[in-house]
Amino acid sequence: MDSATLQKQICRLKDSLGAVILAHNYQRPEVQEIADFCGDSLELARRSTDLTAEMIVFCGVRFMAETAVLLNPDRPVLLPEEGALCPLAAQIDPPTLQEWKDRYPGLPVICYVNSTVDVKAHSDILCTSANAVAVVESLNSDGVIFIPDGNLGHYISTQTEVTVISYPGNCYLHDRITLREIETARHDHPAAQVLVHPECRPEIVAVADAVLSTAGMIRYAQTTDANELIIATEIGLLYQLRKRVPGKQFHTVGDGPTCRPMKLTTLDSVLRILQHQQPVISVPSAMRPGALRALQRMLAVT
């Protein structure tokens, strides 16, 4: 079946079921097109707080769907691809987190949302790339433990006086972006500004014109005087940028960083999940109160 036919079927079925489709900015263009709302992790979490739909179809990775589950305990949340797991989220587990807490007693734990629900449940507060610095500063602590992204932790440490003890996890595709790729893009597009996601390595962040979440990049592109922008993050964002900021030019870096788990979701898998309405994503009930507390604490900050 072609994309246009699939999209029509999805929209018809979605409407008849009273479902809402939320999608992350890294989803395939044709999936972004059928979403009711596209956004970054923070926008998607916020959007999940005021939904009235019968069910939520989450086009993203599992930790994002779990956030929607925490905020919508009475609504089914469907993830079209069960295997859409963020590898960064798997890089720390509760026993390892406990070792870090024992090593730095008394320090609050800030947990990036790219994490499992059981790790969230043992953390003090969550953050996303959009609000990480504000969350750290909200705690009024001289030091914090930051898990699990070491590059984001390092970036935060450059933006605040707070001592940030960072766990050494990383996102495989942001961590792989090289200075040479940025220099090549700059050489090819000398008038362009460079926007960098804070999951990139410190040497990439150091040469950026701005360091932003994916939604932050869209807002920046809408307001900057620059007509050309180099985008150092996952390739899917370029579709949303070109759609929302049509007068400007956007260039990727290297051969276009691509998140495999994000790209698992296709129009076929969205149609299939709407037809079968299962499996429904759940979080273990023992983890729910702690993870929800850390999430709500974050939502209260920004």
- Which residues make up the interface to ligand 13P (CB under 6 A)? 25, 40-41, 114, 128-129, 171, 199, 213-214
Alpha helix ranges (H) inside the chain:
3-17, 29-34, 41-47, 62-71, 94-103, 117-121, 132-138, 150-159, 179-188, 202-205, 214-223, 237-244, 260-263, 267-276, 288-301
Nearest to residue 172, comparing CAs of 243, 247, 238, 259?
A: 259
Nearest to residue 281, comparing CAs of 111, 58, 109, 97?
A: 58
Identify residues 40-79 at the interface with ligand SF4 (CB under 6 A): 61
Nearest to residue 135, comparing CAs of 118, 153, 115, 116?
A: 153
In degrees, to the nearest 5, what angle opens at C-alpha 32 toward C-alphas 295 and 226?
90
What residue has token string 């179809």? 57
Binding string to ligand SF4 for residues 255 to 294, with x set by CB under 6 A, is what? ----x-xx--------------------------------
Binding string to ligand SF4 for residues 95 to 124, with x set by CB under 6 A, is what? -------------------x----------
Q: Residue 214: which of ligand 13P, ligand SF4, none does it interact with, CB under 5 to 8 A by kind?
A: ligand 13P
Q: Examine residue 86 and tell whether it contacts ligand SF4 (CB under 6 A).
A: yes
Helix (H/G/I), strand (E/B), else coil: 35: coil
Q: Examine residue 254 and tell whether it contacts ligand SF4 (CB under 6 A).
A: no
CB of 54 to ligand 13P, least distance (A): 26
Q: Examine residue 125 and tell whether it contacts ligand SF4 (CB under 6 A).
A: no
Q: Residue 65: which of ligand 13P, ligand SF4, none does it interact with, CB under 5 to 8 A by kind?
A: none
Residues in contact with ligand SF4 by the rule CB under 6 A: 61, 86-88, 114, 171, 173-174, 199, 234, 259, 261-262
